[in-house]
Amino acid sequence: MQVVVTRPQNAAVRTARKLEALGHETRLLSLAAPEHDVEALKSALAVRHSAIAITSAEVARLFGMVGETLDRHLLTTVFSVGRASAQAAGEAGFRTVLTPEGDGRDLANMIIGHCRDFGMPAEPILYLAGNPRAPAFEARLKEEGIPFRTVECYRMAPRIPKRSETEAALLRPVPDAVLFYSRETARTFFELPPLIEMPERFLSTLMLCMSPNVARGVPQRFAALTVVAIAPNEESLLDLL
């Protein structure tokens, strides 16, 4: 299959390797780019906290940008969504990284269970977040009265590719499938000129989404072609191919 990957460039390259190993042809069309705030991360770490929570591998990659600032925090427990985030946190040097199978709500439930077993933390959990992000993680912790502090360390800025890049990825020829990892990226994709000017050309293209929330960014006209992964992780997404 000919598959378009819409992730940010660094992550897209890793996904492309996986797809090629599975025998697919890959085209990269990155529709977002991370903007890191290293100083926000340093300042966040300087304030007392009981544990760290992350819901994106992008935050975990930031750990490698703060140098020795991280050293005295490596014994802090990290609660992480997804294998990629957990692996990146482990590679940064954190000794204890706990991760559930699932999404932000599942991570919140893990933390809630941890607090029931070991008691409420004396200091808030530090949630190192991005913008935009899904609200489920923070909402669930608030429901249960778990103390936490959210600090935004990066934002995903929309990236509008040149028309020549877009047409090369989408029209030569039209792909069999497109992979979507975020709702915002899906929205950006359907605002690209080929999708606005000739949407009928894509009525045989599978729109593969990592979660129901991501799928909400796909217009209704493509609903019959939209498929959602069983679990919100890349392994389940690629299983759809």
Task: For the chain, list the domains and their CATH numbers.
Answer: 2-31+159-238 (3.40.50.10090), 35-155 (3.40.50.10090)
The amino acid sitting at 144 is E
pLDDT: which is higher, 133 or 143: 143
pLDDT for 27 equals 95
- Model confidence over 107-139: pLDDT tens digits? 999 999 999 999 999 999 999 999 988 899 999
Q: Is the pLDDT of residue 229 over 80?
A: yes
Cα-Cα-Cα-Cα dihedral of 59, 61, 62, 65, to 10°? 170
CA distance 228 to 133: 19
Nearest to 58 by CA among 157, 189, 125, 124: 157
Separation in Å, CA 80 to CA 14, 172, 188? 20, 39, 27
pTM for the full model? 0.83
Report residue 87's pLDDT band, with 50, 70 and 90 as the boundaries.
Answer: confident
Beta bridge partners of 150: 127
Helical segments of 82-143, H only: 83-92, 104-118, 136-143
Place 151 in a pLDDT band, splitting at 50, 70 and 90: very high
